[in-house]
Structure 1
Amino acid sequence: MGLRVSPEALAGEWSLSFADNDFVNAKPAGSRLGLAVQLKFFAAFGYFATDATEVPDEAISYLAEQLGVRETGLDGYDFSGRSGRRHCAEILRHLGFRRMKRADRVALAGWMATELCPGGQSVAAMLEAVFLWCRDHKIFGPSGKEMERLVRSERQRFLECFLAGVADRLLPETVARIEASLVDPDSPTGFHTIKNDVGAATLDNMLALADRLAFIQKLTLPRDLLTGAGKPWIDQIVRRVGTEKASEMRRHAPKRQLGLYAVFLMVREAQIIDGMIDLLVETVHKIGVRSKRKVVAGIARDIEKVYGKERLLVDIAGAAIEAPSGRVCDVIFPVAGQEKLAAIIREHRAKGTLERRIYQVMRGSYEAVAQ
């Protein structure tokens, strides 16, 4: 099955002009639909289809309707056969295309280097853009495989130039520190140590991260160069360095080695800072949880649980009703002693201030950590 195409694209890309109709209808009826399909496919994508599965089904139906033929007329069309190749050559002459020359190849390579490669697009996306460039310049490029080789070559050339540019900006003392990190990869600032995970929220881990961060910041890396390559390139470099051992890194050419490690360290610096923030937040959370438990335990010790308060209230009410004019010490205290009433008051006040005291301690803990 072919790809889907919108009604807008049908009208814009698959409509036959008067000149197209004259060109197609000049051919035998049995080959008209196949010729029209190749004509509009090339006009849309900049290269010829190799079989009917590359052509959207709606486009085939739309072209058949314009020509007044049945869609089954495409079944016997040989896209790669002798007639198909002759039709491709005729389509190029009809559209005014010419074969790619050496100067065209140089111009295309320069365009890829400045417009496509820096963004870090995939090979497939770049290949599609290259064919459209050729179409817009009325140039018929080489085969798809040769075009793909050209795209991959330009991508590799861009990456090597980018890494060499980073290496050239490194100070001599920076180069010495980077090389020492690769020579002794398990040292506190070695290659393997720099790549290690953050670890648990402990004082040792925080100090180790601080050492790694200080090491990277002393290198004075050319961070402005990161804008010269798109995020896909940076992510690719970081993934590659992250999976290699120090011995594998040392096998790279000097400039490539320095460029790869320098880019990785620029990104790793931000990752270490994020890791330190996460550890700090986790530490503050632990302090808060412990403080809350301590406050709750202290308040619980201060609370004297008084049992039977409801029954005691009934007895006090009964005594007050029987002697409404009597003194408290004569009427109430015989029923509920002074100490028991004081305990009830303490219990009530302690419960009422529990949440407020917890909040005060938690706030004080966070302020202390922030300072």
Structure 2
Amino acid sequence: MIEAKGAGVRQEWSPEELLANWTLVDGDWDLVANKSGATRLGFSLLLKFFELEGRFPDVLEEVPPAAVEYVADLVKVPAADVAKYTLVGRTAEYHRKQIREVLGFRPSTVADEKALAEWLAVEVCPVELVEDRQREALLVECRARKIEPPGRTRVEKVLVAARGKREKMFCARTIGRLGEAGTARLLSLVSEDSEAGTALLAALKRDPGAVGLDYLLTEITKLNDVRSSGCPTGCSRAARGSWWPPGGHGRSRYTPRTSATPARTCGSPYSRRCAPPARRRSPTRWSTCWSPWSTRSTPVPSDGWRSSSPPS
């Protein structure tokens, strides 16, 4: 499986999933009407890939082979011609611009990256420490703001900036809660001539090992040592409140607030969100498929294969 921007692109698709997610419908045919050959196939794949992933592929190999075969059959172009389509150059750049415009997206800017880093630092980093989850949350927020995600290098810089902001915010708040007495006590513990303080800090950072009775006794000892160190009571409790999710037992992760509240969230809290159907038709004629990353939810004909061909 090829990975890009931290998210693996699913390579295996059932016929039903291909029909629901990779079928060209309605206005899609208007966009490809004036294109032919490899350009027609390449544009169609970019369009459907962006609808599903919220970004353009870094390399064409990211597009699932089954989807290439399926879309090639729809547009009446040999699947092998996809190798003739390139993702660099004026043609591909124009195609990306067309797709962004029809879906209501825009390229990201430096100001967007700063705003996204600030959002991650406040909403995601305090409660999600896994880097891949942070990256996934960033892509979700880009979709909510109708922004094409920045390039891979820029995404990593946004994540690094967000984590740095969060660490500074956390440290500043903790020092503020310690007060002058608590800060002075900690500084005395880390002074060069404080052997007891050095030993205490080393013990607090030491891994307690496998869960068991010894583990519990070790952690209890650490808590008692912290209480006897002179830190103000309630300091650690205030810090913990921002790191643990609300909701109590059974809720393992926190769902971050986004700039656009989704109508429905699929899977994990940071999973790619589903949009409501753009239009409704008779339930006997149309079936709506929810795609986990879909930029627009388009009803697919229930008789699928007969209705998926280009309009006459």
Same fold (TM over 0.5): yes
Equivalent residues in 2 for 1:318-337, closer than 5 Å: none
**Post-superposition CA distance 1:109-138 (Å, at most 9, x none):** 443233322222434433333233323333
| Other-structure match for 2:242 | 228
Structure 1 stretches lacking a partner, 5+ long:
200-206, 232-371
Q: Sequence identity of aligned pairs in percent?
A: 30
2:190 aligns with one of 178, 182, 195? 182
| Other-structure match for 2:11 | 4
1:85 aligns with one of 93, 110, 113? 93
Equivalent residues in 2 for 1:11-30, closer than 5 Å: 11-30=19-38
The alignment's TM-score, normalised by the length of structure 2, stands at 0.60
Equivalent residues in 2 for 1:17-166, closer than 5 Å: 17-100=25-108, 104-105=112-113, 107-166=115-174
1:216 aligns with one of 223, 226, 236? 226
The farther-off stretch of 94-103 and 138-147 is 94-103
Cα displacement (A) at 1:165: 0.9
Larger Rg: 1
Aligned 8 A contact 2:142 2:149 in 1: yes
| Other-structure match for 2:213 | none
Aligned 8 A contact 1:96 1:138 in 2: yes
The farther-off stretch of 209-218 and 51-60 is 209-218
| Greater relative contact order (Cα < 8 A, sep 6+) | 2
C-alpha RMSD over aligned residues: 3.3
> Cα distance 1:214–1:75, how it changes in 2: closer, same or farther (>3 A)?
closer
**Post-superposition CA distance 1:294-330 (Å, at most 9, x none):** xxxxxxxxxxxxxxxxxxxxxxxxxxxxxxxxxxxxx
The separation in 2 between residues aligned to 1:208 and 1:52, in whole angstroms, is 53
Aligned 8 A contact 1:99 1:139 in 2: yes
Aligned residues: 224
The separation in 2 between residues aligned to 1:209 and 1:230, in whole angstroms, is 19
Aligned 8 A contact 2:118 2:165 in 1: no
> Cα distance 1:13–1:125, how it changes in 2: closer, same or farther (>3 A)?
farther
Aligned 8 A contact 2:117 2:161 in 1: no
Aligned 8 A contact 2:11 2:65 in 1: yes
> Cα distance 1:88–1:213, how it changes in 2: closer, same or farther (>3 A)?
closer
Question: Amino acid of the residue matched to residue 35 of structure 1?
Answer: F
The separation in 2 between residues aligned to 1:17 and 1:140, in whole angstroms, is 22
> Cα distance 1:82–1:229, how it changes in 2: closer, same or farther (>3 A)?
same
Structure 2 stretches lacking a partner, 5+ long:
3-9, 210-216, 246-312
Normalized per residue, the structure richer in helix is: 1
Aligned 8 A contact 1:50 1:80 in 2: no
